[in-house]
Structure 1
Amino acid sequence: MRIGVDVGGTNTDAVAMSGNDVVGWAKATTTPEVTDGIVTAVQTLLGSHGLSPDTIGAVMIGTTHFTNALVEGRRLVPTAVVRLGLPATKGLPPFIDWPDRLRAVLGDHVYLCHGGHEFDGRLISPIDHEELRTAARDIASKGVGSVALASVFSPVDASFEAEAQEVLLDEVPGLDISLSSEIGRLGLLERENAAIVNACLRPLAERTVAGLTAALVQLGLDCPLHVSQNDGTLMSVDFARRYPVATFASGPTNSMRGAAFLSGIREGVVVDVGGTTSDVGVLVHGFPREASTAVSVAGVRTNFRMPDVLSLGLGGGSLVRPGNGQDDGVTVGPDSVGYELTERALVFGGEELTATDIATAAGMADIGDPSSVGVLDAEVVSGAVERMQDMLATAVEQMKTSADPVPVVVVGGGGVLVRDGLAGASDTIRPDHFSVASAIGAAIAQVGAETDRVYSMAAMTRDEAMAEARSVTAQRAVDTGADPATIEITDVDEIPLTYLPSHAIRIRVKAVGDLLTAATNGMSNRETGT
């Protein structure tokens, strides 16, 4: 049996699953110290369903903790950026596109050094060890311990980043270094930004993982702990310590994976309605469609794996305001009472008119005290319902790739706001356990990995390049914790770069596999003698 946990902005959900069956679930209020909410939710789950900690084989957690830290600009550490690329790239220095407030927090410590490669692996300039040692000494003199290291076209040839890392650590042992080639895709600034974000979050990741591990001890759970990534797959806690940036947007991703699992829909649209916002995404082969362009997080452009999600200000706590005239209709959101819904909504004895009140008055839900909204003006109720459906239908149309109707799966605690027969939907599906779909998505997640690099056909054939990309990606999935016997290549993109010489092609490969269980891992250890 395994437990999936989703730490949302309002609630922390916990679900126990045995195989493909949901054994039980529980909710708790999310706390400023995320581990407290996790402990409460899991304790409630275990107690209310009579589950023994000894029966739990693994715990999977999805959290917005690191995303929130970047958005708020809190709990980040000063970070130095070392870029290998001189004499090129001087015109676009690191941090050039960062918000001023975040640059101030991180310290704007920039070191441009020689090195880097062209797209086909040709040298831009030799790496200069003494230049790197000088930079390392200056970084240490400023008391900075986190470093983001980026080299031009490092996804094609990462050797300079590895070499520079050795030089920096030899000069200043103990530096915490994040390599851009291990985090982002092609595109220097965006990949470098991803490495910077990762570096400034690493100390927080250490504390958070330690807290999560301590929470399992407090709960009496002696089992592996895994953290959700932003592509719907899992990573080990050790991987999470090194790459906290990989958790960004894992909440919506888990919801979409849970929606696909609960509904059986592999191609369609998912609408995840929470307390404050609704996230709309598209399922492709049962996984979230990935964003094809750079994604901005807290005003920082990055290009690592992120789901293509449209968020709108509609949730269970969204405030509803009646119109003042014929041309001024009912408005819903974007402001919300959020986690104070149970105190401020009319159905809970409060004084604010919320979307939850409207859903109850319209007979779409049975929440709280329905008599408290029985006196609402019928036109206000119908106007608000129509406004909510229009907002959601418009979002669905924006995410679709054709005008044809598609199945729409509704999940999340605020899923009662969505009326059957949503415009643009061939079917509106609200599956069992839809309110905890995100926690279910975490519980069923597989382990995955991705490769994105440019190959020059002057050095190899297309088939050789494709085979190498598949092999490297599969091995990365195994290194992340996947069972080698279950590895499956789920996505392959091949883009000819006709504007470049040497018949270059860009290849992106994604692989997934089942989590390596204690039983299979034990067999592997006995066979290898480790």
Structure 2
Amino acid sequence: MGLPLAAPAQHLQGHRRGKHLMAIVGIDVGGTHTDGVLLVGRTLKAWTKLPTREDLGAVLTEVWHRLLEEGGVKPEEVSRITFSTTLITNLVAKKELPPVGLVLIPGGGVDPSLFYYGAASTLEIRGMVDFRGRELVPVDEKEVEEAARLLCRQGLKRVAVVGKFSSRYPAQEERVAEWLRRIAPELEITLGSKVAGGLGFPRRAATAVLTAAIKERFEAFYRELQEGIGRAGCPASLFLLRADGGTMPLAYALQRPVETAFSGPAASAMGALALSQPDLSAAVMDVGGTTTDIALLLEGRPLTYSRGAVLEGRLLQLASLAVHSVPLGGDSWVRVEGGELRVGPERKGVPYACGGPVPTLTDALRVLNLSSFGDERRAWEAMRQVGEGLGEKDPQATARAVLGQAVRKLAEAVKVAFERWAQEPAYRLWQVKYQLPRPQKLVGVGAAAWGLVPEVARRLGLKPLVPHLAPVANALGAALARVTLSRTYVLDTQQGRISVLETGKQERLNQGGDLLPPEAEELALELFRREARASGIDPEGARITSSEVFNVVRHWRRVGRIYEIEVRLPAGVLFFLEEHS
């Protein structure tokens, strides 16, 4: 029997075809499990969980058929499938990113050595573009050719090319790429102007480097999704959850794979939101197989990074939920080294209780009756093996020691997350409004949440909340996430021009005389609403998230203003799920 839903937070556009309710599907592809949910109207009709295997296409086909069979739905009745994935966060957590070279065109006014880009090698070349997109100093062909030869000697196959203000004059980066390919045609080249349209040269460089590193793996993942759904004969529109908790067409994700960097963690936050009260303020902990992701809900809205995402020290030009990930999960390897117990961060496979090669955190939870995964006898055998190295004969005592170490690590990770969130203006405003140092609840999702989250909450002095559907919360988050949209408008009153940084689109600014700040902000909102409606997106809830103005001065007199205004439609869910657990 399906699970009914509470009142909708927003109408599900396109969810009814003729007189028939259409179905939507959410599929979360994790490093350990692939979960799927199917909803018809506002009722959850089916959900399933399968181990993620190397043949991802076959896994997706099986998930699809299981959902249709259990839900009693025909393929043509499904209007939309939204995927989420931990692909990139797992690659970073396990340090499996390939090396990338970086060719910088820094121009003047900034010391590139002050920033961390995540590149294996960074080369600077001459060239300059000003803030209006005018090339002041052209790049030197000979210098670029020498950079190409050096990159080849260093054995690098992937290169990012990034210039200051390149989003306003991409031709300079394109020229460098052309010259690099002439000397080294085997290079895979990523341009900063193509992957991040906003200003912020160091963040754009780090984003381009990460894009170059993940592009090949993401393209393989994309092909597997297409193959799996194609094999299943599914006619539905395909979407992918992005880092900010909204959805985007799957084909667009192929152009901007970096926007999926926090797709899996975003799914857990959106799933926790859908399974909670609309005005909930709480930390969210998603305990997966490889990693644990920690996010924050404030009054029913997921907290976003105000200046862009942060990933393993990289400051990215990427709209993202404020997520903190740690390499510890249910499949974390448990062993004794030098007489000391170690839990993670490595993962060697599925739990020993499920036929895996080594003891894991899940085996400890199984012995303590905090999990029902796998063979109980194998779980006890796993804890006996670990106990031998500690001189402990009682497997339950060993399991308690494993649990205690995991809980301490996870509690410390939540503390670190709160310290990072304290730097965000929205969080500080919440603290002032409620006169509280932090939210008092910890919502747990993921397969291992029931065993771990209550213990972590107790250690932190928080109230634990683990929804009945915690094991498939990520898939629910993907299915129920609504569209997000973000645009940054540059209004140049002197030149009479409007530029959209994310798309490169320009139009005339038909404004007589000067433009005051309130007028500029209202114009930006109107431009945003117009584009959203043209794309079939309801702009209700759009708001200005940043607004800056720069005076243009000539001969000691202001002759115009340049506004840079960001408008965003924030993340949210289509409706809230009413728990009956």
TM-score scaled to structure 2, two decimals?
A: 0.68
Residue deviations 1:252-288, cap 9 Å, x none? 1111101110123542110111123322211135443
CA contact (8 A) 2:487 2:568 kept: yes
In the TM superposition, residue 109 of structure 1 has moved relative to its aligned partner by 7.2
Is 1:440–2:476 an aligned residue pair?
A: yes
Q: Give the one of 286, 289, 293 matched to 1:272.
A: 286
Q: Give the one of 381, 399, 411 matched to 2:445.
A: 411
**Count of paired positions:** 485
Distance 1:370 1:227 in 2: 37
* Superposition pairs of residues 9-408 of structure 1, within 5 angstroms: 9-66=31-88, 71-74=95-98, 81=103, 83=105, 86-89=107-110, 91-92=111-112, 97-100=117-120, 103=121, 111-117=125-131, 121=132, 126=136, 128=138, 131=139, 150-153=162-165, 158-161=167-170, 164=172, 178-180=191-193, 183=196, 185-198=198-211, 201=214, 208-264=221-277, 266-292=280-306, 295=309, 297=311, 300-320=314-334, 331=341, 333-335=343-345, 337=347, 339-341=349-351, 344-345=352-353, 348=354, 353-370=359-376, 373=380, 376=394, 379-400=397-418, 401=422, 402-408=436-442
Is 1:487–2:539 an aligned residue pair?
A: yes
Tell me the SS of whatever aligns to 2:112. Answer: coil
Distance 2:263 2:146 in 1: 37
Q: Give the one of 20, 27, 30 matched to 1:5.
A: 27
Q: Give the one of 480, 484, 509 matched to 2:567.
A: 509
Match of 1:523 in 2: none
Tell me the SS of whatever aligns to 1:271. Answer: strand
Distance 1:209 1:378 in 2: 43
Q: Give the one of 515, 519, 522 matched to 1:460.
A: 515
Matched-pair identity in %: 23
Aligned partner letter, 1:26: T
1:382–1:146 distance in 2 versus 1, CA, 3 Å: closer
Q: Which moved more, 1:240-249 or 1:183-192?
A: 183-192
In the TM superposition, residue 303 of structure 1 has moved relative to its aligned partner by 3.0
Distance 2:531 2:141 in 1: 31
TM-score scaled to structure 1, two decimals?
A: 0.74
Residue deviations 1:303-341, cap 9 Å, x none? 32233223334422334568999xx8xx56124555421
Residue deviations 1:141-176, cap 9 Å, x none? 99999985645356xxx5423x55787899999998
1:127–1:451 distance in 2 versus 1, CA, 3 Å: farther
Q: Which moved more, 1:394-403 or 1:263-272?
A: 394-403
CA contact (8 A) 1:66 1:244 kept: no
In the TM superposition, residue 438 of structure 1 has moved relative to its aligned partner by 0.9
1:170–1:370 distance in 2 versus 1, CA, 3 Å: closer
Alignment root-mean-square deviation, CA: 4.7
Aligned partner letter, 1:61: F
In the TM superposition, residue 18 of structure 1 has moved relative to its aligned partner by 1.9
In the TM superposition, residue 208 of structure 1 has moved relative to its aligned partner by 4.3
Distance 1:354 1:33 in 2: 24
Tell me the SS of whatever aligns to 2:208. Answer: helix
Distance 1:351 1:114 in 2: 55
Tell me the SS of whatever aligns to 2:369. Answer: coil
Residue deviations 1:12-38, cap 9 Å, x none? 112112233221122222233543432
CA contact (8 A) 2:117 2:206 kept: no
CA contact (8 A) 2:283 2:294 kept: yes
CA contact (8 A) 2:283 2:295 kept: yes
1:356–1:178 distance in 2 versus 1, CA, 3 Å: same
Tell me the SS of whatever aligns to 1:363. Answer: coil
